[in-house]
Structure 1
Amino acid sequence: MREGTWAAGRLAEGSVLRDVIDTSDPSAWLWLDEQVRADEWYFPPYGVPAWEETAGGRSLTAALRADVPLTEGQLALALCHRDGRIRHRALGRVAGRPALLPLVAVRCADWAQPVRELARKRLVEALDAEAEAEAAARLAPLVRRLADRHRGDFALGLLGEVLRRAPGEQLAPLFASPDRPVRRFAYGLAVEEGRLSPAELARAAAGDDDAVVQSLCAEAALAAVGEGDTEEVLGALLGARSPRARSAGVTALRRLERPERAVGFLVDRSALVRACARYVVRQYGTDPLPWYRERCADPGDPALPPGAAIGLAECGTRADAALLWPLLDHPVPGVRARAVAGLRTLDVTDLPRMRRLLDDPAPGVVGEATLALLPSAGLLPEAWLAERLAPERPRWVRVSAYRLLDAHGGVVRLRAAVALLGDADERLRSRAELTVRRFRWWGTDAEVAELLDRARAHLG
């Protein structure tokens, strides 16, 4: 709250607005609007803010009524004032002050109807000219946040109207905005208005990291694709890093009658893409299971894709575990990891054959083996697992051993946690401390009492 008081005081004394808050950050405007009305800033019982008397020796209210010139910072304070009459008067003096447009947009969702109506009128006037589309784009991150408020849809609707009239290049900055809701809004507008070609939409789906944008643009690209840009659209989608974009491209191969291209995606790294590829090839009469079995038949094939092992498990039966067991010795770590995941998918676990993978040099293999062994953790020897807690072991081996010891429960869990209380690995140590603090034991077991005494001495 002291930071807010300091900011308000500087603005009241005439400091430049951008020197006090980050005017490019929408959350800064919302923070200012909230903090100006904070109770700690008012002197009871009169409700006079601490900074009110600093506007040129007279109150801010009097200055507004007398048309005394005010700085942008002082007007910003007035626009955030808890008295609606002051907010209303301040709105009458914002014309020609583009720096205050964010607060005008905030007041468009004001709870006082006269303030709300005047703010909306002022925002329409400011954004009515086609040349003001750039200003509208700058307001987009704040307006998107305001849209979640009660009566906050007006500014968003106005923003949409202005950007619909604007040249296409005015939307470009919004496509690259770090604010995900803004990108969703911009791409939604572009799709609705037909501003982007199918190829541009496909590239957007492939390049954006937001799932909503990926789905929106991929679906729009495929809905509008024609013979002339089919290859470009498919190339962008099928080569995308995002599984959602790739899966959209693979699914479209059915409609485009190109099932042969789906075969290569049967071994994709994404389960979603593999499922879509199986759907496409099945629609054209091909059963993917024999294809998977053929690919996994040679356990020494160095070119075997990891997706073949897990793909076999996803559409195979428990009998196919016979093809997966030999892959646990494959030279490629990814194949070993996916083979373990496939055996877990088929619910096939052989403890002696699986537990040796806890010492695998690849973290991914150890992680998958741990997941497979967790349901049977109680059958693993405690002493054997405890050896793998030693500091000289690789971190992923130690984490795996601790997870499996923790899954034993009871005194085994406590012994493992106490052994790690002084460990150099911060995350392991923190987890062990949490286990000890939460441990509950009712009884007179001497070993448990001794362990808890050791833990208390260590934790203080």
Structure 2
Amino acid sequence: MDVLERVRLAVAAARARDGGALEELIAALLAAGAAGDHGDAIEALRVLTERPALLLRLDSFIRRESWYSTRPVPSLTEVDPVALALAASHADGRIRERAVRRMLNQPYPEMMPFLVLRTSDWVRQVREPACAGLAVLLHENPLLTTVASVRTALLVNRRQRGSFAHGQLRASLSAESGTALSETLLMAPEAVVRRFALDTTTRRLRLRDLAALAESDPDRQVRARAAEAAARQAVWTDQVELLHRLARNRHAEVRTTALTGLMRTGSPQDVVPFLDDPSALVRALAREAARRTGADSLAYYRAAVQAAEPQVGAIGGLAETGTQADGPLLTALLDNPAPQVRVHALRALRNLDAVPVPQAMVLLRDGSTAVVKEAAAALAPSAAQLPADLLWDMLTDPQRPAVRRAGYRLLNRHDRPTALRAALVLSGDPHPRLAAQATTDATTQIRTLAMRPWHTRPVPSLDTSPAQAAELLALAEQRRTEITDGVVQLLRNVLRRAPGSQ
């Protein structure tokens, strides 16, 4: 097997925390270094440092293991960079100190994460040369910094003495010579690295670069921070067109920042068209803009929900500004062919406390899972008034887990015997998540009802008729495997003292 392939396999096993994986990783790394190919040795270090969390685990493992290991102390030569890097984690502080000084003599970018680790070393004689050396190296050549170095510094920064490398990297990026480095880090695949680079270099980035990050970065935090910086610069330089461009972005956090910038430039009329935006925060900004321009946002929402194809943002806006008197407008949307319209209409009716129970009950069997879920949420306050036969029929629906879940949710709003019966029935559901949830609920309910000698608070009673008690006990016996024998016995004891079972 190729030495690098062995290292990759060992890294994968160590990340999965397989037994003995760290020992195999050390052996694989040493084999790559001993093979004599300097390029392979450096590549082996790169494969390891791409996983900074694993690097920290390996560092701790070597420190513990090296006290009693029969493995000879690694040779501190610059010819074998792998042995040198591993020696920097040795339990003996004198060996770590010599390893640090050797690393500083001929630094490689792949060695930097190991040096970053030693800047948080608990031994002063190791920590101080590592910190001083890192500062000098980054000053002389900022491009020695790699994505792996930054990720390692971010992890080490959580330690008691770990802030030096983090601060030094920030200083290196903030310097004029760090422009090329910041561009590299802003293209890193890891979001934490891009956030770090953006937070450090925001004031030096050009407006177009900030706008590009806001529009295209896959990480929400990077987009939000870049959009904020871009909007601030656009407001200062009166580049309203850029704000309009960002306001059309598909991400809500970018639109919010851009529209705030338009408000600051004195252009609230450009924000009003976003009254029916899908984002609640954007709609709130648009309503403030409407107030400043004298537009009636509530009238707009009432007209918008009556359109042939109402926007879900308009439905949400009516829920945020309307009253119970707007219930009929929203109820009419429950027959809309678009599932998302029905979902938002139910949500809006629930927010306005205007849920029409008969129409919402029909949607408990809707073809859309999202609609069924929202209908159950809307009907939850009225669950006790719903036909019991309907709910029990839903609980045993042979086809759709979403319907069974909705029935269970509504039966849980009934009295204790009904809720317990529903949990016992559903604990045998073929859907594993539903069965697990119902089993947990049934066990919790029974344990809550059981009397304990050390309980000082009153135990709630389970008021059941003899027929109900017999049914509950029969169900529990059927579910003995799921809820355990002990819980079945607890239920038996609970039913014996139930007032209705005498």
SS in 2 for 1:349: coil
Partner residue, 1:100 = 111
| Cα distance in 2, alignment partners of residues 392 and 361 from structure 1 | 15
| Cα distance in 2, alignment partners of residues 340 and 400 from structure 1 | 15
Q: Quick check: 1:349–1:372 contact (8 Å CA) kept in 2?
A: yes
Percent identity at matched positions? Answer: 33
| Cα distance in 1, alignment partners of residues 384 and 368 from structure 2 | 24
Mapped pair 1:27 → 2:33: no
Q: Point out where structure 1 has 5 or more consecutive residues left out of the alignment.
A: 54-58
Q: Point out where structure 2 has 5 or more consecutive residues left out of the alignment.
A: 1-18, 35-40, 451-461, 485-502
Partner residue, 2:187 = 176
Please give the TM-score of this superposition, normalised by the length of structure 1.
Answer: 0.86
Mapped pair 1:295 → 2:313: no
Mapped pair 1:446 → 2:485: no
Q: Quick check: 2:240–2:262 contact (8 Å CA) kept in 1?
A: no
Q: Quick check: 2:172–2:178 contact (8 Å CA) kept in 1?
A: no
Q: Quick check: 2:238–2:265 contact (8 Å CA) kept in 1?
A: no
| Cα distance in 1, alignment partners of residues 58 and 29 from structure 2 | 11
Note the aligned Cα RMSD (angstroms).
2.7
Partner residue, 2:94 = 85
- Relative to structure 1, the CA distance from residue 17 to residue 438 in structure 2 (aligned partners, 3 Å threshold; closer, same or farther) is farther
1:167-246 matches, within 5 Å, as 168-192=179-203, 194-197=204-207, 199-225=208-234, 229-235=239-245, 237-246=246-255
Partner residue, 1:341 = 347
| Cα distance in 1, alignment partners of residues 385 and 184 from structure 2 | 58
Q: Deviations over 1:110-138 (max 9, x none)?
A: 121121111112223432324x4253455
Q: Deviations over 1:122-177 (max 9, x none)?
A: 223432324x4253455222122222222322212222233333363432332233
**Larger CA deviation: 327-336 vs 18-27:** 18-27
Amino acid at match of 2:156: L
Mapped pair 1:389 → 2:395: yes
Q: How many residues align?
A: 436
| Cα distance in 2, alignment partners of residues 69 and 394 from structure 1 | 65
Q: Quick check: 2:116–2:153 contact (8 Å CA) kept in 1?
A: yes
- Relative to structure 1, the CA distance from residue 229 to residue 169 in structure 2 (aligned partners, 3 Å threshold; closer, same or farther) is farther
1:396-407 matches, within 5 Å, as 396-407=402-413
| Cα distance in 2, alignment partners of residues 422 and 321 from structure 1 | 40
Partner residue, 1:4 = 22
1:305-324 matches, within 5 Å, as 305-324=311-330
Q: Quick check: 2:210–2:226 contact (8 Å CA) kept in 1?
A: yes
SS in 2 for 1:407: coil
**Larger CA deviation: 135-144 vs 107-116:** 135-144
Partner residue, 2:159 = 149
1:353-392 matches, within 5 Å, as 353-392=359-398
Q: Quick check: 2:277–2:283 contact (8 Å CA) kept in 1?
A: yes
SS in 2 for 1:348: coil
Partner residue, 2:138 = 127
| Cα distance in 2, alignment partners of residues 196 and 146 from structure 1 | 31
Amino acid at match of 1:115: V
Q: Deviations over 1:343-376 (max 9, x none)?
A: 1111223322321121222233222222111222
- Relative to structure 1, the CA distance from residue 136 to residue 69 in structure 2 (aligned partners, 3 Å threshold; closer, same or farther) is closer
Q: Quick check: 2:331–2:356 contact (8 Å CA) kept in 1?
A: no
Please give the TM-score of this superposition, normalised by the length of structure 2.
Answer: 0.79
Q: Quick check: 2:29–2:44 contact (8 Å CA) kept in 1?
A: no
Q: Quick check: 2:269–2:293 contact (8 Å CA) kept in 1?
A: no
**Larger CA deviation: 238-247 vs 105-114:** 238-247
CA offset at residue 81 of structure 1?
Answer: 1.4
Q: Quick check: 1:414–1:439 contact (8 Å CA) kept in 2?
A: yes
Q: Deviations over 1:56-100 (max 9, x none)?
A: xxx45xx65xxx677322222221112222211211211214132
Q: Quick check: 1:202–1:218 contact (8 Å CA) kept in 2?
A: yes
| Cα distance in 2, alignment partners of residues 284 and 202 from structure 1 | 28
Q: Quick check: 1:205–1:213 contact (8 Å CA) kept in 2?
A: yes
Q: Quick check: 2:157–2:165 contact (8 Å CA) kept in 1?
A: yes
SS in 2 for 1:386: helix
Q: Quick check: 1:147–1:156 contact (8 Å CA) kept in 2?
A: yes
CA offset at residue 316 of structure 1?
Answer: 1.6
**Larger CA deviation: 90-99 vs 166-175:** 166-175
Amino acid at match of 1:352: P
Q: 2:263 aligns with which of 229, 254, 258?
A: 254
Q: Quick check: 1:386–1:401 contact (8 Å CA) kept in 2?
A: yes
| Cα distance in 2, alignment partners of residues 432 and 12 from structure 1 | 52
SS in 1 for 2:334: helix
Q: Quick check: 2:232–2:261 contact (8 Å CA) kept in 1?
A: no
Amino acid at match of 1:184: R
| Cα distance in 1, alignment partners of residues 58 and 431 from structure 2 | 42
Q: Deviations over 1:11-50 (max 9, x none)?
A: 4565547548623222232122111123xx35xxxx4333
Partner residue, 2:479 = 455
Amino acid at match of 1:140: V
Q: 2:69 aligns with which of 39, 42, 49?
A: 49
SS in 2 for 1:398: helix
Mapped pair 1:118 → 2:129: yes
- Relative to structure 1, the CA distance from residue 17 to residue 219 in structure 2 (aligned partners, 3 Å threshold; closer, same or farther) is closer
CA offset at residue 105 of structure 1?
Answer: 0.7
Partner residue, 2:149 = 139
